[in-house]
């Protein structure tokens, strides 16, 4: 969970919704510090082999769920990082967010949620 502006954002739900994009192999959502909101979500996405999309494509995908009322607009991550390597896993095969938090914790803000 990410606490942004006093409201909770479910990282698991965002990861599930991102994973439903036709080009996404796997996704992780982490919280990064934000001066205005306390924390903001950042999505780290690995694409399926041979598939392409952009940060804008991923954002549009999530905004479709905003339109359906499944998530609030402020849940949409400010940043979507597309990586070429699979996301780190724990020994049990779950996403390991600790190295992702370490790598992206000082990610520059983009202006906060709308």
Residue 113: inside a domain, yes or no?
no
What confidence tens digit (pLDDT) does each residue in 38-78 have? 999 999 999 999 999 999 999 999 999 999 999 999 999 99
Domain CATH code at residue 55: 3.30.300.30
Give me the domain span that covers residue 28.
2-91
Decide if pLDDT at 7 tops 90: yes
pTM over 0.85: yes
CA distance 56 to 107: 18
Residue 19: inside a domain, yes or no?
yes
Residue 76: inside a domain, yes or no?
yes
Instruction: Domain count for the chain, please give it.
Output: 1
């Amino acid at each position: 969970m990410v606490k942004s502006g006093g409201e909770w954002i479910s990282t698991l739900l965002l990861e599930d919704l991102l994973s439903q994009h036709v080009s996404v192999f796997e996704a992780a959502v982490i919280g990064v510090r934000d001066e205005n909101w306390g924390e903001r979500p950042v999505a780290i996405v690995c694409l399926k082999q041979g598939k392409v999309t952009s940060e804008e494509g991923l954002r549009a995908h999530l905004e479709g769920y905003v339109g359906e009322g499944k998530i609030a607009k402020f849940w949409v991550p400010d940043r979507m990082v597309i990586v070429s390597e699979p996301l780190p896993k724990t020994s049990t095969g779950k996403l390991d967010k600790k190295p992702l938090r370490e790598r992206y914790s000082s990610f520059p803000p983009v202006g906060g949620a709308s």
